[in-house]
Amino acid sequence: MLKRAKHLWHILRQLTGDDAYDVYLKHHEAFHESNIDAPPALSRKEFFKLWQDGKWKGIKRCC
């Protein structure tokens, strides 16, 4: 039961983009740990700015 609720919560967070920063951090670690010169990860606020602005560049809603 608790496991199910957790799973649903996880899906809800993914759906809304609530976990976008966590996903980004994971990606950053996985792809950049091998590279010493990689720039440090963005802060939550910086990342959210980029993410939100990027999200609205194309057609995102129709009729």
Partner 1 sequence: MHKNFKIIIWLAVLILGVSAVSAIALNRGESISAMWFITAALCIYAIAYRFYAAWIAASVLVVDETRATPAERLENGSDFIPTNKWVVFGHHFAAIAGPGPLIGPTLAAQFGYLPGTLWILIGAVLGGAVQDMVTLFFSTRRNARSLGQMARDEIGPIGGVAALIGTFLIMIILIAVLGLVVVNAMKYSPWATSTVAATIPIAMIVGFYMRNFRPGRVLEATALGVALLLLAVVGGGWIDQSESLRGLFNHDGLPLAYAIIAYGFAAAVMPVWLLLAPRDYLSTFVKLGTVILLAVAIVILQPDIHMPAMTQFIDGTGPIFGGKLFPFVFITVACGAISGFHALISSGTTPKLLANERDIRMIGYGAMLLESFVAIMAMIAATVLEPGIFFAINSPAGVVGKDAIDAVAKINSWGFAVTVEQMNQLAKDMGESSLFARTGGAPSLAVGMASIFGSAFGKGMLAIWYHFAIMFEAIFILTTLDAGTRVGRFMLQDMLGNIWPKIGRTSWMPSVIFTSALVVAAWGYFLYIGVIDPNGGVNLLWPLFGIANQMLAAIALCVATGILVKSGKSRYAWITGLPLVWLVIVTSAAAWQKIFSDDIRIGFFAAANDLAAKLAAGALPPDKAAVAPQLIFNQQLDAYLTMFFVAVLWVVIIDMLYVAYRRYAGKPVLPLSEVAHEPSRLVENWVRD
| Positions that interact with partner 1 (CB under 8 A) | 11-18, 20-21, 23-24, 27-28, 31, 44-45, 47-63
Least distance CB 49 / partner 1 (angstroms):
7
| Residue 24 to residues 18, 35, 50, 62, Cα–Cα distance (Å) | 12, 17, 11, 28
Q: Which is nearer to partner 1, 36 or 62 (CB)?
A: 62
Least distance CB 57 / partner 1 (angstroms):
7
Q: Which is nearer to partner 1, 16 or 34 (CB)?
A: 16
Q: Which residue has the tokens 């608790």?
A: 2
| Residue 12 to residues 6, 18, 46, 53, Cα–Cα distance (Å) | 10, 8, 23, 21
